[in-house]
Amino acid sequence: MAEPNDTNDMSPSDILTIAAKVFTSQVMEGQTPRAFLDETFYKYGVEQLAPFYNISVDVLEKFVNYSVPCMEEQIKENINKTDMWTPIWTDCFFWVQPTTTPAPETTCSVELTAFIRLTLFAISILLLLIMAFCVQKRRRACRDCCWGFPGPVVPLNMLDSYENRKGYMLAFGLAANSIISVVMGANDELLGTKLNVQVDREISKLPFLGVFMKIFMSIYVAMVAYPFFVAQNIRNKIIGSTFGIIISLYWLGFELFKFYVYGATCFKNLHEQGHYTSVLYVLFDLPKILCLVGLVLKFAYNIYITLVKRAEKKRKGEHVNWVHENDTNWKEEYMYIHIKEVFKKHRFAKQAKQLKKIDEEKPFKQRMYEKIRGILYEIKPGFKYSTRFSVALLIATMAIYGAVMILIGIGYTLFVVLLNLLIDNMELVDWLAANIKVDKQDIIDYGNAIGTSYWLGLVTAVIFFVLVMMNQMTWYRRHVIKLRSGDRSFLPSGIQKKTLAPAGLMTASFKYAGFQVGYCIWGFFLSAIVFYIVWMVLITQIFLPMHRHQLSLLLILLIKQWPNILIAITMIVVQILIARCCFVASPDSLAIDNRRAYHIFSYFMLFFNIFLGLVSCLVRIIIGLVLGVVFMQRLSKSTLPRAYERRDPGYLSYVSFLLLEHQHSNPALQCFVRLLLEDMKKDLKDDFFKNEQANNAEKFSMQLIKVDETVTSKVKEARNKRIRARNRWHLYVMMTMNPSIIRYRIRFLDINNENSFLTGKLTNLMNMDEKHAVGDTSPLSLRQRQSKVSDDPQKINCEVNENHYVMA
């Protein structure tokens, strides 16, 4: 027991702790409690033991008056839960817990991160209300109600726009970590620790509320990132980029301040204790910081470019409205530039084909390099990936990056810290060796082998993820190009036959981006497990026994079965050689030579190939399992057979997304429609100014405007002739370029004297002078001839004007 002079500087709980330890030690030595008390009173006296007596009375009063009722209440509330002691101890015995110096904080608080999300959520709500009630108007529903307000605020175009993809990808990168946390059920960074504990406690009472909580948190994360999309979608780039750079700097400043606070608290304590997991904190948030820096630079660049363009407009004398100016120009976008390049390629393709030297064969290294690059990924400068596809790949990549950071932390804890502690504790190693009857060195070697297999499996899974994503990009580009060229052969038969409803395809297309991320996460984890098992088998069964000059179970099995394996391989090679040298008549066809020998050989090989088929089936199962897991994250190819592709929800969502994108974002269609709209707007604008000038002239000088009717009629007649000649020339060119539509045009003549008809038409073509034209000798009138439609599609359509045939 502590000396009496020391009790004045100690807390009550410390005094009780020391007393309990002394009492326990005396009882363990065999002394009775009565003898212990007599000895204590005799040794220290009443005055010196008075603090212990007062503290004991206080403890008993707190226990009876507070702890007992609290325990009854907690037992009633937590009777059906597995962890019942934790709330009892924390809520009912908080006064008994020792008041020693708190341990240094090694977990970083997330309250500051939650505050950042909450303020951005409030900014997003405010921006949404301002845009909906003051800027955006409704275009269809109830346009006259409330002056067209509120209107929908579109964050981004995910259907037919290829512009600003990098900015949208950076904005989605800000929400990637948060949405992964929501999926994993960790809402501390979004709500804060205290609020999250309360929410989890309420949800535990009604478990079905967990689904609604995930829906709410998904909306919450989307609203946090909402301002960054709206800022990029505003047509006035000065206003949008200024607002975007403000909120980006606000969030970036908070993130840097958060790491400054962490550096003085939890990071410092972790380093003092010898742990270096603080690096994982920084690496986990590194993509978010890079996205914020990228958005700041992008918004600043947009402001600079917009100011340069507006200054150029002012130098040209054009009017610039700083508030309502539209800084977008569709002729500077990808679609218009792509179509121009396509036309250039078609123009010079014939010359390039003629100049190409076909006889020159490329070197072997170059051919192999091009083949490997074609399998993995090949850059095509004239092609751009759509916004939704790019965003899906970015979120998937960031999700895998976060998963890798988590797995690195787990691996560091298990296979670096704990494994080293296990190896250093030789007593524990001896105990394990004695209980499981294994040599000590085997425990150490196999422990290191498991750790090495973990790291190699993780690295291999990451490499395969990158390769599969590159392959996914390549197949997506091939499919888009095939659809644009009219090739739909790769689509499932149900889509080719149009047996799937458009509503079903539209619904499936909604799911593509989310399915891509989900499939990538599952595919990565499963492939990491598969590669971990593969590496563990290789290391423990091949490399480690070879290093120790021993035989493993797998090596023993291979030694026993190597004659069977060698015979099987030999027979396979023999069948290939016999088929190539004896039975194939020519290398370019399947013509059979030596038919009787072929029948005999096929008969005897049938029985042997049964045994070979059993082994081949196992190989097929293993290859199918491994490739199915590794390529699960690729949606461009179905893992099911061709006839069952419609049953693959991931592949169906990918195909539906492809068709929807092709239907609405085809560059040729987009440019054609925009050119028509531009011409229509120009005509409307010209007509408006002409009408304004005519109205002003009629209002102020009605008496001065008198047009000679004769001159007007001649001008109109000359104008009609020019228009008619132009139309006929355009019609001739169109019919010449598209002969298949001639029969759908109107009504050419069905005359008995066909020879005179064709002769007259050719004469008219050769003699463009009207006085040399051959007249119409048909007794039918103009309306009668136009009303007759020929059934012969081989005849050439003509258009009748007065009594002369004119080439259509």
Confidence of residue 462 (pLDDT cuts 50, 70, 90): very high
Average pLDDT of the chain is 74
Q: What is the 3-state secondary structure (H, E, C) of 348-380?
A: HHHHHHHHCCCCCCCCHHHHHHHHHHHHHCCCC
Q: How far is CA 98 from the centre of its chain?
A: 51
**How far apart (Å, rounded) are the C-alpha atoms in residues 148 and 155?**
19
The answer on pLDDT for 417 being more than 60 is yes
Tens of pLDDT, residue by residue over 88-97, are 656 665 555 4
> Where exactly are the structural domains of the chain?
13-93, 110-328, 363-381+398-665, 667-699+711-755
The answer on pLDDT for 430 being more than 60 is yes
Q: What is the separation, in whole angstroms, between the first and last Cα of the chain? A: 119
In this prediction, what percent of the chain has a pLDDT beyond 90? 5
**How far apart (Å, rounded) are the C-alpha atoms in residues 43 and 6?**
16
**How far apart (Å, rounded) are the C-alpha atoms in residues 53 and 225?**
62
Note if the bond before 4 is cis, omega within 30 degrees: no
Q: What is the 3-state secondary structure (H, E, C) of 540-583?
A: HHHHHHHHCCCCCHHHHHHHHHHHHHHHHHHHHHHHHHHHHHHH
Tens of pLDDT, residue by residue over 185-225, are 777 778 877 787 888 787 877 777 888 888 888 888 888 88
> Which of 50-64, 99-113, 341-355, 769-783 has the highest mean predicted lDDT (pLDDT)?
50-64
Residue 118 Cα distances to 115, 191, 220, 223, 229, angstroms: 5, 8, 9, 10, 18
Q: Hey, is 254 helix, strand or coil?
A: helix
Q: How many CA atoms lie within 13 A of 591 on its CB side?
A: 6
Tens of pLDDT, residue by residue over 371-400, are 666 666 677 767 788 888 888 999 999 989
The answer on pLDDT for 728 being more than 70 is yes
Which residue's structure tokens are 């084909």?
353
Compare 441 and 356 and report the one with higher pLDDT. Answer: 441
Which residue's structure tokens are 């008198």?
706
User: Does an H or E element contain 699, and which?
Assistant: helix 667-700
DSSP tag of 234: -
Confidence of residue 714 (pLDDT cuts 50, 70, 90): low
**How far apart (Å, rounded) are the C-alpha atoms in residues 567 and 555?**
18
Compare 541 and 700 and report the one with higher pLDDT. Answer: 541
**How far apart (Å, rounded) are the C-alpha atoms in residues 390 and 156?**
14
Residue-level pLDDT at 375: 62
The answer on pLDDT for 103 being more than 50 is no
Compare 781 and 440 and report the one with higher pLDDT. Answer: 440
Residue-level pLDDT at 332: 66
Q: How many CA atoms lie within 13 A of 247 on its CB side?
A: 25
Cβ–Cβ under 8 Å, residues 591 and 582: no
Stretch among 139-143, 402-406, 633-637 having the lowest mean pLDDT: 139-143
Residue type, 515: F
Cβ–Cβ under 8 Å, residues 646 and 652: yes
Confidence of residue 135 (pLDDT cuts 50, 70, 90): confident
What are the tokens at 384? 């751009």
Stretch among 240-254, 428-442, 598-612, 623-637 having the lowest mean pLDDT: 428-442
Cβ–Cβ under 8 Å, residues 629 and 525: no
Q: Taking each helix axis from N to C terminus, what angle separates 426-436 and 440-484, rounded to the nearest 10 degrees?
A: 90
Residue type, 669: L
Cβ–Cβ under 8 Å, residues 409 and 280: yes
Torsion angle of alpha carbons 249, 255, 261, 262, nearest 10°?
A: -160
**How far apart (Å, rounded) are the C-alpha atoms in residues 430 and 447?**
14
What are the tokens at 678? 């531009």
Residue-level pLDDT at 406: 86
Confidence of residue 102 (pLDDT cuts 50, 70, 90): very low
**How far apart (Å, rounded) are the C-alpha atoms in residues 580 and 585?**
9
Q: Hey, is 773 helix, strand or coil?
A: coil
